[in-house]
Amino acid sequence: MPRTADKSPLLAIDLDKASATPMHRQIFDQIRRAILTGRLVPGRRLPSSRVLADELGVSRNTVLAAFDQLLAEGYTEGRIGSGTRVADALPEDYLAARAGRERAMSGDHARKPRLSNVGRALQTAVPKTRIDPNRWAFRPGVPEVARFPWAHWSRLCAGFWRRPPLELIAGGATAGFKPLRAAIADYLGAVRGLACQAEQVIVTAGAQQAIDLAARALLNPGDKVWIEEPGYAGIRGVLTAVNAEMVPIAVDDAGIDVDAGIAIAPDARMAIVTPSHQYPLGSVMSLARRLALLEWARQTDAWILEDDYDSEYRYGGRPISALQGLDRDGRVIYCGTFSKVMFPTIRIGYLVVPLELVEPLAAVRSLIDDQTAIALQPVLAAFIESGHFAQHIRRMRTLYAERQDVILDALKSELSGALDVTPDESGMHLVAEIRPSASIWDADVAELAAARGLSISPLSRFFLGRPNRNGLLLGYAGIEARDIRTGVKKLARIFDDLD
């Protein structure tokens, strides 16, 4: 049988008939690899399709399909029937070098990839918090997802998707789904005292993207930006990415110290603030400071980015109005999120911007990621309009107030010697200052806590400069009362061990 001359150990193709990959693809892949690794050299004749089909126990059409593909992609030359050869046109030196580098494919990952300067800076811009989903206590900012009205939400989802408006599905809208923008404007006007129309609302994929969008559109490299000290660490990454110069400004019981900001960096291009409930300390910016901040922004043509991250949850008194509502000069860019009133992975947030910024920001947005997925926008709009949204907030407000009492009680009975905690009229976490007498560092507590199954953020991590506070951020909103009590007991043992 002269045909056996065709047989080559190089072509010992190993077919996996149980694989999801079609036979012709497996044959193609293995011959291609043989060519690329130099096992089949240029000019080498392949066995005929008939021989190979016999040998492999597959139909000739299967082999022909593989051969077609090899030919189409330029690995082989010649006509089927008159013999198929490995193409001459392959750059030989490239192929020769192949065999030795085949290893690389299987995982030689020691080499450091060349990142951009920004890419490299971002690797360390923000302290990594590895969130273990099974460690709820005491992650801040996580709402109670177990009591979300999933049944209703699921029905709204199914309803929308059963027969979605096709022009919406095909086109979408960069600034967001219009009825959702309207629902957001109504909500913010009524509850947060904003002066805004639906046209000023830009729906984003969460607050982080909202801040990133504003930073890219408004900040030049080297521009100074006031940030609160201590403050939200996520801001630092955004500002690092646009090469802005961060100017930390101290925060006290009346919010960010505007006079200090003007003294240190009067020419800043932007101030990023949390006026309603300073993150993480919880203070409310005084009216005098608000007006002074607005006046500074007016005089210097600076922007104020108001991050209103958890103002829905206020247990005492009434919600403090947003700074935006005081702005008469189009200086305030207001940023909010549904992560905390709905659930974190909904990834829907929004900016409320002066009208003249809507189009410029939308243009930038269209190049970043075009638009927020339509996915849940109509469902969220319907959820708000149906009243379930307001009802859910009211329920959670009651629940979180109870949980704040639980954690306060537990801390009082277990840790009053070491921690100094005051109730907070709003929010989803408490700040517990470590008493100087305890002589224990917050970072040490956090580290030991992580090893023992607790997620605790040390207050020192929220400082860009040298921390002048030593304390712990204890989230309570998303944690069951019994887990709060168990967690506090664990925390007390940590303090004992560190003592």
Which residues inside 354-383 make contact with its own copies, applying CB under 8 A? Answer: 354-357, 360, 363-364, 366-376
Report the distance separating Cα 338 and Cα 351, nearest Å.
12
Selected binder of its own copies within 61, 131, 416, 422 (CB under 8 A): 131
Compute the CA torsion angle 268, 274, 275, 277 (nearest 10 deg).
-160
- In this complex, which beta carbon is closest to its own copies, that of residue 301 or of residue 466? 301
- In this complex, which beta carbon is closest to its own copies, that of residue 1 or of residue 170? 170
Selected binder of its own copies within 6, 54, 55, 186 (CB under 8 A): 186
288 touches its own copies (CB under 8 A):
yes
Place of tokens 């029937």: 81
Selected binder of its own copies within 4, 82, 134, 437 (CB under 8 A): 134
Cα-only R_g, the chain: 30
464 touches its own copies (CB under 8 A):
no
Question: Candidates 4-12, 108-116, 412-420, 466-474 — which segment interacts with its own copies by CB under 8 A?
Answer: 108-116
452 touches its own copies (CB under 8 A):
no
Report the distance separating Cα 17 and Cα 233, nearest Å.
53
Site for its own copies in 150-169 (CB under 8 A): 150-151, 153-155, 157-158, 160-164, 166-169
- In this complex, which beta carbon is closest to its own copies, that of residue 170 or of residue 451? 170
Report the distance separating Cα 62 and Cα 47, nearest Å.
14
81 touches its own copies (CB under 8 A):
no
Selected binder of its own copies within 204, 278, 426, 457 (CB under 8 A): 204
Of the candidates 263, 276, 264, 254, the residue with the CA atom closest to the CA atom of residue 326? 276
Distance of CA 442 to the CA centre of its chain: 26
The answer to whether residues 187 and 322 touch, using CB atoms and an 8 Å cutoff, is: no
127 touches its own copies (CB under 8 A):
no
- In this complex, which beta carbon is closest to its own copies, that of residue 171 or of residue 417? 171
Closest separation in Å from C-beta 399 to its own copies: 15
Contacts 24+ apart (CB under 8 A), 266-269: 266/296, 266/300, 267/224, 267/300, 268/223, 268/224, 268/225, 268/226, 268/300, 268/302, 269/218, 269/219, 269/220, 269/223, 269/224, 269/225, 269/244, 269/302, 269/303
Which one-letter amino acid corresponds to residue 466?
A: R
404 touches its own copies (CB under 8 A):
no
114 touches its own copies (CB under 8 A):
yes
25 touches its own copies (CB under 8 A):
yes
Element spanning 76, H or E: strand 76-77
Distance of CA 46 to the CA centre of its chain: 51
| Binding letters toward its own copies, positions 210-229, x by CB under 8 A | --x---xxxxx--x------
Closest separation in Å from C-beta 247 to its own copies: 17
**How would you write 229-260 as a 3-class SS string?**
ECCCCHHHHHHHHCCCEEEEEEEECCEECHHH
102 touches its own copies (CB under 8 A):
yes
Size of the site for its own copies (CB under 8 A): 132
- In this complex, which beta carbon is closest to its own copies, that of residue 18 or of residue 151? 151
